[in-house]
Structure formats: structure tokens, C-alpha cells
Amino acid sequence: MIKAIEEAKRQQSDLIVFSELATCGYPPRDFLEFKDFINEAEKSVKTIAEHCMGIAAIVGSPRINSIIAGKDLYNAAYFLEEGKIKQIVDKTLLPNYDIFDEYRYFEPNKNFQIVNFNGFKIALTICEDLWNLNDNPMYVTTPMDNLIKLEPDFVINIAASPFSKTQIEERRNILIGNAKKYQLPIFYINHIGAQTHLIFDGGSCVINKDGSIIDALKSFKEDQKSYTINKLSGIKIIADTDLVQTEISRNKYQDIEDALVLGIKQYFEKLGFSKAILGLSGGIDSALVTYLAERALGKENVWAILMPSQFSSNHSIDDSIKLATNLGIKHNTIPIEATFQSFMDTLNPYFEGTTFGLTEENLQSRTRGVLLMGLANKFGYILLNTSNKSELAVGYGTLYGDMCGGISVIGDLYKTEIFELCEYINRNEEIIPVNILTKEPSAELRPDQKDIDSLPEYAVLDKILYAYIEEREGPAQIEALGFNKELVKRILKMVNMNEWKRWQAPPVLRVSKKAFGPGRRLPISGKYLN
């Protein structure tokens, strides 16, 4: 941040703006309950202020509520100038839905004020403060209705708005709606980076008072730009029009790919790891995760392990080797038949009189999990999980087997979306072997096994799952969409009955509006639809 301030000084800027809770990251969660953590954030603000000579800065940071009753903290925007804290504006609307839990920690602002700077009156707002704009508002207070009475010249909104497949469009519509309603330009500054399961795309932009997007910063990359504001002529933009158009019209699959790459990259960097290991099965899920890992970490830091059993097809092995060769990553083959058989030899006295079934299938998966975790522990790798959202939803996975891993890379992508994303990745050249994309999905845990032996076609399954998980529709509403009543009942029951597995799954990189994890809070033992 200090480096960015120095760059802004070189550009002769008067004011530089950082995002919501920029000193500590978002969401800090229960770190906010540690006094030492808050003290460190406060020290960071004061250090930044020391560099604000000849320039002002707006910085998001938690602050202690030392005056009134209520929560111990505010989610604040500090206005820094002349080496000190000149003004503090607190967040009014504290989201408490999906992945957000701000009211757990923060007291809402009740004192509306304008920031006066260089002859301008700035309406300084924090993320959700602009989101109470629809016909059925969530909050009883709309901050801009109060701030507009103070006659501001423009709006600055500092945000920590996480990425999802729908969030970018929704966010722009909110910003455009505010600009039009209040007839004010808006400078929107959003986080870039990732925090465990949450990914922040940036998407910072400048909106004119007519609602037009007149400039945009890069998505999924740190970026910095300067603008000139004149009370008479408005905002002077020296914009790269090609970049603006590119950022406004980005492809959905490019966004998802870039988001997942950023999520992997930051997860490893923040934990102090650099190398990933994963099982490469010849299926589309592990192929996609391998590709994303290579993009995030570099080919020298990805290790793919092929673990064929007596049930593995030759083409699965060949397809895996071809993918690893295409990506230039290290790969080794460790057959599991002998290891699996040793487990069976140990268990046979107890399994006597039973037939080969799900237990033996799961034991193969757990054999692979043991081998992968052994290699990961020995050589300092993080195991990447390759389960998709369709599988996680219905429990089509093995705890301590294919559900092992430090981070679930594609656990928020349905199977149909994975096929679509892989086709997008292959749009210019065959990176993921075509045979992986065209063959019928199979776990290959018994002879001639296919996913459709246990599940409906993914095209049908995913639509039912989307209606239930993302749209929160009940069985009657889903049946009304044209799906078989018994099938709907069966699928929804599978989702609910496997909540216990998901509680033990690795954190899932979030790219949808309703991902498994902190944003979807259901009881394990609830009897609804069970």
C-alpha cells in the first residue's frame, strides 16, 4: 500500500483509494476478536498515514468502538492526510447472509457525514452501503438517501465484494442504478485476491452520473489508475478503450478460470506452500484441476500421480499421460492393485461371506488417498481435491479417499459446467485430450462402471441440484419445472443425507452464488426431505 502511495505521488495524484478492510483482508472473521489483531490494524493505518504527506488516502480498516454501547468494532474507512487521520467514516449496512457475517462483529453507523477535500464533497461509502436499492430493500436505512442531502459531488465506494458467476453483472447493475438515481459519478474500488474459499476479482471501475461505465481496471490482477475531476467538466479519463471494452464484456468461462487460478495461487502463497500433488485418473475432473494447478503454480510445481487398478481402462492411463505431457508436468504411475489386495487380505477374515460391493470400491479410493497423502507429507506438497459440485451434492465421493485434499478446486462447479469450461480451455488448441471430454464419466471402481449406473444424466441432475441449492426451491417447485416426482424426491434426499460428508470436505473455492461451505448453513441431522 505504501508502494502504491509512492507511485500515486509520482503521478501527482491528490488522493489514493484502497478497498474495504484493506489493512487486514476480508473476511478477518474471529481474528476481529483478538485485541492484538486490532492493534496491528490500527498500527498499519498510522504507518500508512505517515506516508500521506502531499497526498491523501482512503483506507479500509476495523476500528474500536470507544464511545457508545453496541458491538466492539466498526468497519471503517479512514481518511488520511498531512500524516495523520483526518476523518473516519463507518459502514452503515452490515450484511449477514450467505458468506457474510459482519453484524457478528461490527456496530452499524448512524452518523452520516461528507468528506470535504480540495473543494469537493465526497460521499464515502463502504460496499453494502450502496446495495439497498431494489424494490424490496433488505435494510430500513439507505445511506445514500441521507448522504445526498449533504450535496456531494461524487461517490467513492470501497468494497470487498467476492466473485461469483453472477456477481459481476449484479454489482455493475447496482452501481449503475445508484449513479442514475442520485445523478452522481461513482468511483468503485474492490478487493483483488483470495481468502481461503473466497475469491475477489477486483472489477474496480468508474461510473458516470448517467450510468455509463467510463473506465475499468483489470480483473483478477492488481491495477492502479489516476483520474482528474473538475467540478465544471466532470471526470477526465485517459482510458484504454479496448481494455474497458474487454473488461466489460469478459467471457464467463474466462472469469471462472481466472478466479480458480487466483484462488489456488493465493491459498498456496498464504500458507507458505508452493507445490501441489493430485491424483490424475483420466477423467475430466482431475484433468481440469491439473490444468488449473499448472496455470496457478507453474509446471515445475505440479506433480500428477496415476494410480490405476485392475478396473482402470487403458485409455484412462493414456489420456492422463497425454495431458501431463501437454502441460509439461511431472507425473508418475503407482499401480494400486497390490496395495488394495493387501488391505483385502487383512479384512477377508471379517468380510467372509459377503460380496464385492461399495465397501471394496471405497477401499480402492482410500488406498489412493493414503498414497497421495503419504507423498504429500514426505515431500511438502498440498493435495488438491478434484471432486465436483454434483458429486459433493449427492454424496458421490469417498471420505478419506477422493474427498481428501487441502482445497477443493472445482467443488463449486457442476459436472456440466466442467465440460463447458474444458471446451472453452480447448478453444484454440487441444490442451485437455478430447477423449477425456467425450468419454462417459466413470469412477472405474468395478468392471464397466458408469456414473449413470448410480445417478441420472448430469444434464438432468445438475438442473435439479441448481434449483434446490442455488434457487432454494422445494420439491413441488422443482417438479413444476418438468422433472419426475420420484426422481426429485430421491435427489433432494441424497443432498440432505450427505451434509455430514460435506462438513468433512476441504474448503471449496467459491464461484457461484451458493457454494458449499460457510455460505450454506444446514444442519447435519435435519429431517427435512429425509
Known catalytic residues are 20, 91, 127
Report how far residue 209's alpha carbon sits from residue 501's, in angstroms, rounded to the nearest whole number. Answer: 49
Kindly state the cell numbers that stand for 518: 460457510
Give the chain's largest Cα–Cα span.
Answer: 88
The separation between CA 4 and the C-alpha centre of its own chain, rounded to angstroms, equals: 25
Q: Please name the residues in contact with 50: beta carbons below 8 A apart, sequence gap of 6 or more.
A: 83
Please, what is the angle between helix 2-10 and helix 35-50, to 10°? 20
How far apart CA 508 and CA 312 sit, in angstroms, is: 28
Could you say which DSSP state residue 517 is in?
B
Residue 152's CB is within 10 A of a number of other CB atoms, namely 21
Please report, in angstroms and rounded to a whole number, the separation of the first and last CA atoms in the chain.
Answer: 51
The DSSP symbol for 508 reads: B
CA distances to 371, 451, 471, 519, 527 from 523, in Å:
33, 28, 18, 13, 9
- Cα radius of gyration (the chain): 26
Cell of 409: 478446486
Q: Which three cell numbers stand for residue 382?
A: 498440498
| Local structure of 42: helix, strand or coil | helix
> What's the chain's length in residues?
530
